[in-house]
Amino acid sequence: MQILLRKLLHTMSRKRIEFDVFQAVGRRTYSTRKLADIGQPTPASHPQLMKEGEITPGITAEEYIGRRERLLELLPERSLAIIASAPVKMMTDVVPYTFRQDADYLYITGCQQPGGLAVLGHECGLCMFMPEATPHDILWQGQIAGIDAAKEVFRAEQAYPMSKLYDILPDMIRRSAKLFHNVQTATPTYMDLEAFQKAAYVDKVKALSSLTHELRWVKSPAEINLMKESASIACQALLQTMFHSKKYPNEGMLSAKVEYECKMRGAQRMAFNPVVGGGPNGSVIHYFRNDQKINDGDLVLMDVGCELHGYVSDLTRTWPPCGSFSSEQEELYDLILKTNKECMTLCKPGTSIHQMHNYSVELLSKGFKELGILKNDKFYHQLNPTSIGHYLGMDVHDSSMISCDRPLKPGVVITIEPGVYIPSSFDCPERYQGIGIRIEDEVLITETGYEVLTGSMPKEVKHIESLLNEYSLGIGMENHKSVRAATS
Ligand code: GLY
Ligand code: MN
């Protein structure tokens, strides 16, 4: 009895102490609590995902500060960068589409929420205008990052609530010689300011992407790790989907399967709507309907990628769900595979995507002619109107301001994606009509050459056929070890 009484008194006095401390420190306790949830993962809230010192998984506060320093080096004197966060697009009145942050805003701040504006200048450093959530917003959408988080988590030199923007930004704009803003995401919040409009009128407003794409083009070691992880998830997911295809030759089911497998491995979202084209749908380059069954004997072309903590993957494989390539499919497949491999051997510092593209056109047009598919070079573009590849990073077609003529550097990631897309009505032997094939890999340029980030996803005819025939049925995540063994 005495022990029980002592326990009760002890508990009561602890409660009293907690209450007193809360009363004594008042706001401070409240603000610490607010910071514990800033609307996105932190090392405190997601220790399984993030290390101390990271602002987003895999990227430290120092790296974000370094990015801003490098952007300031590119930013002319007395210039200002105005970087808007992406808007939330609404499906209906209160139902939003999935949110994806603007890549420049994420690259510079690490902040993953909508509604903010970041301003970077030589005098002000990083100045973040943060959205203000009402209790009603918090009830419906949860906590968000405010000005405390801007300073303490995102390390902004200055932070203000959005409502102060009209008092502060016009003066900053008036004092600036030039303004750089992320044109694609520009918002009326600042574009409607008289000071901004005056600056635009006298041609002082430029595209920020000409500077940020320069920085984002070459990946840091931390970014390369995330790119590798994102590629590895996409490869594993695509392999599982290939196994699934024999039993479920249906575009929609394969699209669902690949998305499931990516998200089960930690991806936040798909990098783009997967392209799952069976038979002639494979010759529609960005086919997105994914609503047909795949006929026995047809190929399926799958172009997929996922996004992992801001970094995307992008790869394509084409295979026959029935388990064997027909002879005409194999002839064309061999040509695309040879082009994929030969272009890859050109990957090294100093070569450009454009040079590889020209080489791929040479190889493909020669091959198409030998197969009797192409009679005249002027029709080449009807069989393949795409570039051999593009830069890859936070966006699928990343750093688009950097010309494809630019000599590659170590740390740049590109895709190599030769293909053939033969319309059903194309004037060529009937057996080739309606065939679409693309083989796309991600390649990291290194000091001495290249590293294929999607190399674990099989692409040899014999390898694909044996996987489909020997390992397909009943294989799922639970049998992952045997799948790994089969592909190694
Ligand atoms: N995989 C999408 C594209 O390269 O356009
Ligand atoms: Mn691509």
Ligand 1 geometric centre to CA of 436 (Å): 15
Indicate whether residue 396 lines ligand 1 (CB < 6 A).
yes
Please, are residues 449 and 348 in contact by the beta-carbon 8 Å criterion?
yes
Ligand 2 geometric centre to CA of 388 (Å): 9
The CATH classification number of 2-216 equals: 3.40.350.10
Angle at 149 between CA 143 and CA 152, to 5 degrees: 150
Indicate whether residue 303 lines ligand 1 (CB < 6 A).
yes
Per-residue pLDDT tens digits of the chain, which is 488 residues long = 334 334 433 433 333 333 332 233 323 333 444 467 999 999 999 999 999 999 999 999 999 999 999 999 999 999 999 999 999 999 999 899 999 999 999 999 999 999 999 999 999 999 999 999 999 999 998 999 999 999 999 999 999 999 999 999 999 999 999 999 999 999 999 999 999 999 999 999 999 999 999 999 999 999 999 999 999 999 999 999 999 999 999 999 999 999 999 999 999 999 999 999 999 999 999 999 999 999 999 999 999 999 999 999 999 999 999 999 999 999 999 999 999 999 999 999 999 999 999 999 999 999 999 999 999 999 999 999 999 999 999 999 999 999 999 999 999 999 999 999 999 999 999 999 999 999 999 999 999 999 999 999 999 999 999 999 987 655 543 444 444 444 44
- Ligand 1: atom nearest CA of 305 is 1
Please, are residues 296 and 314 in contact by the beta-carbon 8 Å criterion?
no
- Topology of domain 218-486, per CATH? Creatine Amidinohydrolase (3.90.230)
Q: Where are the domains of the chain?
A: 2-216, 218-486
Distance CA 133, CA 113 (A): 12
- Residues in the 5 Å CB sphere of ion ligand 2: 314, 415
What's the predicted TM-score (pTM) here?
A: 0.90
DSSP β-ladder status, 300-304 and 275-278: antiparallel
Ligand 2 geometric centre to CA of 343 (Å): 15
For 161-187, letters b (16+ CB in 10 Å) and e give ebeebeeebbebbeebebbbbbeebbb
Indicate whether residue 61 lines ligand 1 (CB < 6 A).
no
